[in-house]
Structure 1
């Protein structure tokens, strides 16, 4: 029996370089909430008492570099072309993510109080220092861990 080795498109290497480059290039430094975990939990509960929250650190606020048509579609659904990618979940009130896992949010509904990033289903609490970056939507959506 002759078994063929799997082949990958030549572009996989360049694609990995693009994603790796995005993750490893510096961005604009931002500061989220300068609070202990307990203080941050109380803070988010006071502003969003009925919504699940996810405390994260080592985070990136990513602006998706979308074309005009995509931007209008995003805004029509009540969102903005931003999402959060975090290397470290501190706590997830709904139990979806465990401490130390990575997480990528869905699109932004609001960003308030210097560190509360709201999506349709969750408020991501950006704790400590983070980065702001811009990226192609395909690159952003392909990031895993």
Structure 2
């Protein structure tokens, strides 16, 4: 995995974005205003990966209530349910929404994005190779 972190897919090319600049406590409170019951996972050094899909695939994904996008984060800061250890990396399941510039939602979790990140397109195969 280390090689992939330094090359191509997870490199810093892509569109530069900035997540929240709030403190951990404040960003958790802000996320709770939008998502009352979903588990929160706060991450840094993140990248949103827009999956390159055909129009037919996109239609199926949207019909299933998702968007063809995933989140990869190099560093977990805090996970309410302790699924991920602080400092570890995480790749989300397919996203449903990206709100407020720092809230990436999936069906099961809300990823709270801190600090700088990137957004870029990638093949589904490359995204799933991140395991």
Q: Give me the TM-score of the superposition, normalised by structure 2.
A: 0.91
- Alignment of 1:87 with 2:103, yes or no, is no
> Which has the larger Rg?
1
CA RMSD, aligned part only? 1.6
Provide runs of 4+ in structure 1 moved above 4 Å: none
Task: Find the partner of 1:31 among 18, 38, 44.
Answer: 18
Unaligned 5+ runs, structure 2: none
1:73 aligns with 2:83: no
Q: 1:84-131 deviations in whole A, cap 9, x for unaligned? A: 100000011111001001001111111111211111000000111000
SS of residue matched to 1:114: coil
Deviation at residue 75 of structure 1 after TM alignment: 0.7
Bigger fraction of residues in strand: 2
Q: Secondary structure at the match of 1:50?
A: coil
Q: What pairs with 1:40-119 in structure 2 (closer than 5 Å)?
A: 40-119=27-106
- Count matched residues: 128
- The CA deviation at 1:132 is 0.6
Q: Deviations over 1:23-49 (max 9, x none)?
A: 225111001111111111111122212
| Distance in 2, Cα, partners of 1:81 & 1:94 | 25
Give yes or no for the alignment of 1:127 onto 2:122: no
In the alignment, the residues of structure 2 paired with residue 98 and residue 139 of structure 1 have an alpha-carbon distance, to the nearest angstrom, of: 24
